[in-house]
């Protein structure tokens, strides 16, 4: 059995092709299909990966590593206490965990893996990914470009002549890829985007707004209260996700702090319109990154036949509206869960 691994900046997934010839994602110990790409070094002996690590991100920031993919291929180390860890070592810990989920589910039949990487990854970054596999004890048979994987999931075939634009906005990155299917080959024409723009920037905007509103209404500044900030950050992401399906959402955190009169609760209502307004410059950035990539490739909007949306943050209605407006009349494919595509 060969498994497929999406080793993401924010979340990772492991899948296989089942008896019905369909891709199937393997759930983790929490019953979730996505595993946060976060590693927490509890002590010398114990390392946690996934949800349990993510919940330590603010409180134990000095022993928790996230977003390591951004440093793949770099001469970079994260210091945990006295010991430095390379991006290859951290990625290997995440890979090992994913392989463990696959082994528990499929038994000991795993021969190796296909791992996806961004189309723009250079040789160093690809080499680092292969080394992480080696360190994790899994043979990587192939590195597959992420936008190619997304197009494959939609069943694009190279026999059809088509120009595809893949827009992949995850937790921390926005990847734009222009691909051409022609004469039985699929080629990446151009890639662009940003390694510092993703869902977390939208969470941060909401978190800042929540802190500011609390300060104005309660006269209490929570900016330096780590526990309160962690709760606000978690809730901000939840509100952002809820606002993808509903127009207003309330955030309630009881007993967030103590005031002169006793415990104080945080209770705010946030509207989607307000969220879109708070993030309008981020949406504008998205538009300008798309325009830059198109102009780098020397093509206009009419060149695009079909758009594929990928990445969890592509569920934001503001994002979808922007894309639909920019490419009026172009088919947008978004039926497959964008976190998993
Ligand atoms: P990915 O890296 O593709 O797993 O995407 C992770 C990002 O997608 C995180 O920033 C999530 O908060 C975001 N996300 C997941 N679901 C939603 C949703 N329903 N609406 C908006 N953003 C979402």
To test the pocket of ligand 1, the residue of 32, 167, 199, 321 to mutate (highest count of ligand atoms within 8 Å of its CB) is: 199
Locus of tokens 């134990």: 60
Whether 69 is a known active-site residue: answer: yes
Average pLDDT over residues 265-277: 98
Q: Whose CA is nearest to atom 22 of ligand 1?
A: 313
Cα–Cα distance measured from residue 86 to residue 71, given in angstroms and rounded to the nearest whole number: 9
> From the alpha carbon of 339, which atom of ligand 1 is closest?
3
Spacing, Cα 42 to ligand 1 middle (Å): 27
Which of 56-66 are b and which e, b meaning 16 or more Cβ less than 10 Å from the residue's Cβ? Answer: bbbeeeebbbb
Q: Whose CA is nearest to atom 19 of ligand 1?
A: 241
Spacing, Cα 91 to ligand 1 middle (Å): 21
> From the alpha carbon of 202, which atom of ligand 1 is closest?
10
User: Of the residues 89, 97, 168, 237, which is catalytic?
Assistant: 168
When mean pLDDT is compared across 58-67, 157-166, 307-316, the lowest value belongs to 157-166
User: Of the residues 89, 97, 146, 333, which is catalytic?
Assistant: 146
Q: What is the pLDDT of residue 152?
A: 87
Spacing, Cα 244 to ligand 1 middle (Å): 10
Model confidence over 167-194: pLDDT tens digits?
A: 999 998 999 999 998 887 889 999 999 9
pLDDT at residue 302 tops 80: yes
Whether 6 is a known active-site residue: answer: yes
Strands 2-7 and 112-117: parallel
Average pLDDT over residues 21-47: 95
pLDDT at residue 282 tops 80: yes
To the question of pTM greater than 0.85 for the whole model, the response is yes
CB within 6 Å of ligand 1 — which residues? 8, 10-11, 34, 170-171, 198-200, 237, 240-241, 244, 311-313, 315-316, 339
Residue 27 DSSP symbol: P
Average pLDDT over residues 108-128: 94
Model confidence over 65-84: pLDDT tens digits?
A: 999 999 999 999 999 999 99
Query: What single string gives the DSSP state of each residue in 144-200?
Result: EEHHHHHHHHTT--TTS-EEEEEEEE-SS-EEEEEEEEETTEEEEEEEEEETT-SHH
Cα–Cα distance measured from residue 163 to residue 93, given in angstroms and rounded to the nearest whole number: 37
- How distant, in Å, are the alpha carbons of 162, 189, 274 from that of 186? 9, 9, 41
pLDDT-derived band at 276, boundaries 50, 70, 90? very high
Q: What is the pLDDT of residue 158?
A: 66
Q: What is the pLDDT of residue 57?
A: 86
Cα–Cα distance measured from residue 246 to residue 315, given in angstroms and rounded to the nearest whole number: 12
Whether 104 is a known active-site residue: answer: no
Please state, rounded to an integer, the average pLDDT across all residues of the chain: 95
> From the alpha carbon of 9, which atom of ligand 1 is closest?
2
Spacing, Cα 192 to ligand 1 middle (Å): 20
| Residues 198/172, Cβ–Cβ less than 8 Å | yes
């Amino acid at each position: 059995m060969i498994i497929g691994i999406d080793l993401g900046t924010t979340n990772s997934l492991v899948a296989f092709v089942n008896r019905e010839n369909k891709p199937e994602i393997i759930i983790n110990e929490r019953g979730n299909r996505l595993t946060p790409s976060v590693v927490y070094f509890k002590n010398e002996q114990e390392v946690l990966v996934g949800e349990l690590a993510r919940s330590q991100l603010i409180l134990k920031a000095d022993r928790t590593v996230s977003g390591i993919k951004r440093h793949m291929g770099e001469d970079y180390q994260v210091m945990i206490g006295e010991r430095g860890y390379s991006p290859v070592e951290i990625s290997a810990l995440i890979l090992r965990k994913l392989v463990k989920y696959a082994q528990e589910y499929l038994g000991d039949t795993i021969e190796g893996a296909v791992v996806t990487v961004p189309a723009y990854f250079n040789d160093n970054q690809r080499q680092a990914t292969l080394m992480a596999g080696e360190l994790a004890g899994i043979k990587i048979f192939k590195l597959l470009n992420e936008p190619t994987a997304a197009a494959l999931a939609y069943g694009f075939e190279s026999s059809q002549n088509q120009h595809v634009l893949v827009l992949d906005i995850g937790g921390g990155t926005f990847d734009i890829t222009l691909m051409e299917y022609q004469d039985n080959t699929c080629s990446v024409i151009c890639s662009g985007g940003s390694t510092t723009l993703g869902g977390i920037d939208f969470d941060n905007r909401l978190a800042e707004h929540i802190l500011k509103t609390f300060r104005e209404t309660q006269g209490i500044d929570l900016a330096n209260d780590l526990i309160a900030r962690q709760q606000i950050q978690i809730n901000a992401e939840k509100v952002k996700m809820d606002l993808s399906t509903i127009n207003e959402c309330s955030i309630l955190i009881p007993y967030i702090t103590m005031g002169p009169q006793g415990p104080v609760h945080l209770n705010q209502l946030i509207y989607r319109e307000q969220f879109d307004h708070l993030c309008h410059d981020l949406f504008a950035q998205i538009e300008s990154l798309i325009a830059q990539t198109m102009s780098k490739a020397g093509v206009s909007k009419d060149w695009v036949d079909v758009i594929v949306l990928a990445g969890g943050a592509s569920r934001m209605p503001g994002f979808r509206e922007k894309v639909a407006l920019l490419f009026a009349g172009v088919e947008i494919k978004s039926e497959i869960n964008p976190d998993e595509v």
